[in-house]
């Protein structure tokens, strides 16, 4: 992992308007971004054809092309990258669905360490919509879910990325999974998560 001070300096330079600082930052965190992408892709997304490098590069292009992108620190960079990876995967699922309609229901688990069945594009789109609904109700819960599920961050990495304590991240992960599961099972989720 790159020297934390160097990353912080580049983030501050980027915030100050040095757009080239972002390009200098990426090589310092590239291996970490690849690990995030690899963890996500290990879950498998049936029909979403991406490899680790492609996911990292598409997430980078999404971030680099974002006007007004603000990055507070390394943790925030990882959280923003998790969201970008989610958007890339969902966009691929939408494209695949536009080309080919159909498929059946697929059972997926949010449990850690379980490979589960690879989610179908339809399911990814349902999850994306449910996550947007959760974000409207409780932004931190949605951010924790993105970091854990889409970026494959550990509990500790998620806590750092979201800027909360480890115990709060653990509780948020449980609450987010429960709320999303309920919502995806037919909208039985309570109006307020938790």
**How does pLDDT run along the chain (194 residues), one tens digit per residue?**
456 788 889 988 888 888 888 889 889 999 989 988 888 777 655 555 678 888 889 988 888 878 778 888 888 888 888 889 888 888 888 887 776 654 444 445 555 544 444 456 788 888 999 999 999 999 999 999 999 988 888 899 999 989 999 999 999 999 999 999 999 887 655 555 65
Alpha carbon 70 to its chain centroid, in Å, reads: 17
SS3 126: helix
CA distance 55 to 58: 5
The long-range contacts involving 109-113, CB below 8 angstroms and separated by at least 24 positions, are 110/149, 110/177, 110/180, 110/181
Residue 71 confidence (pLDDT):
84
The two tokens of residue 82 are 């998790």
Residues 6 or more apart whose Cβ sits within 8 Å of residue 109: 116
Count CB neighbours of 21 within 10 A. 17
Backbone angles phi, psi at 5, to 5 degrees: -65, -40
pLDDT, residue 103, reads 46
CA quadruple 83, 6, 11, 19: dihedral sign: negative
């Amino acid at each position: 992992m790159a020297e934390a001070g160097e990353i912080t300096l580049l983030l501050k330079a980027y915030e100050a308007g040095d757009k080239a600082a972002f390009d200098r930052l990426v090589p310092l965190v590239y291996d970490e971004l690849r690990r995030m992408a690899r963890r996500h892709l290990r879950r498998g997304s049936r029909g979403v054809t991406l490899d680790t490098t492609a996911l990292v590069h598409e997430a980078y292009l999404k971030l680099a092309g974002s006007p007004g992108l603000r990055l507070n620190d390394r943790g925030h960079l990882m959280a923003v990258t998790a969201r970008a990876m989610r958007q890339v995967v969902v966009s691929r699922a939408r494209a695949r669905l536009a080309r080919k309609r159909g498929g059946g229901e697929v059972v997926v688990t949010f449990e850690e360490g379980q490979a589960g069945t690879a989610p179908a594009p339809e399911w990814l789109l349902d999850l994306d919509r449910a996550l947007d609904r959760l974000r409207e109700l409780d932004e931190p819960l949605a951010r924790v879910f993105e970091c854990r599920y889409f970026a494959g961050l550990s509990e500790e990495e998620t806590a750092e990325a979201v800027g909360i304590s480890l115990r709060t991240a653990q509780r948020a992960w449980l609450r987010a999974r429960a709320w999303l599961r309920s919502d995806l099972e037919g909208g039985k989720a309570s109006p307020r998560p938790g």
